[in-house]
Amino acid sequence: MAGSETIRFGTDGIRGVAGAFPLDPRTVAEIGRAIGQWLQSQPAQGAEHTVLLGRDTRPSGSMLAAALSAGLLQENITVLDAGITTTPAVAYLTRTYSADLGVVISASHNPSEQNGIKVFGADGFKLPDEAEAEIEARIAALIAAPAPEQAPSQFGKLRALAKGFAPQLEQPTDLPDEQYVRYLIKGIDLSALHVVLDCANGAAHQLAPEAFRRAGATVEAINTQADGYSINVQAGSEHVRRDRSALLAALQAHGADLGIAFDGDADRVIGVAPDGMLIDGDHMLGILAVQLKARDQLAGDTVVATEMSNSGLADYLAAHGIALSRTKVGDRYVMERLRERALTLGGEQAGHIIILDGDHGTGDGIYVGLLLASLAAARKRGGEGGLSELAAAVPRYPQVIASAHLKARVDLNAVEGLSEAVEAIHALFEGKGRVNLRFSGTEPNLLRAMVEGGAKNTMQQVVESALRLCHLVAAASGTAQPKIDVVDCVTGAPIQL
Active site residues: 108
Alpha helix (H) residue ranges in 129-266: 129-144, 176-185, 207-214, 236-242, 245-253
Instruction: Decide if 324 contacts 289 (C-beta within 8 A).
Output: no
Backbone angles phi, psi at 379, to 5 degrees: -65, -40
Give the list of residues 6+ apart from residue 116 with CB closer than 8 angstroms, or none.
12, 13, 14, 15, 16, 23, 105, 106, 107, 108, 110, 442
Three-state secondary structure of 1-60: CHHHCCCCCEECEEEEECCCCCCCHHHHHHHHHHHHHHHHCCCCCCCCCEEEEEECCCCC
Chain CA centroid to CA 365, Å: 8
Distance CA(161)–CA(50), nearest Å, equals 13
What is the three-class DSSP state of 80?
strand
Distance CA(404)–CA(473), nearest Å, equals 9
Distance CA(179)–CA(186), nearest Å, equals 11
Of 35, 12, 16, 291, which is closest to residue 138 (Cα–Cα)? 35
Distance CA(51)–CA(202), nearest Å, equals 22
Of 490, 56, 447, which is closest to residue 232 (Cα–Cα)? 56
Distance CA(259)–CA(197), nearest Å, equals 6
What is the three-class DSSP state of 488?
strand
Of 46, 41, 76, which is closest to residue 153 (Cα–Cα)? 76
Instruction: Decide if 365 contacts 106 (C-beta within 8 A).
Output: no
Task: Please list, residue by residue across 331-362, b when 16 or more beta carbons sit within 10 angstroms of its beta carbon and e when fewer do.
Answer: bbbbbbbbeeeebbbbbbbbbbbbbbeeebbb
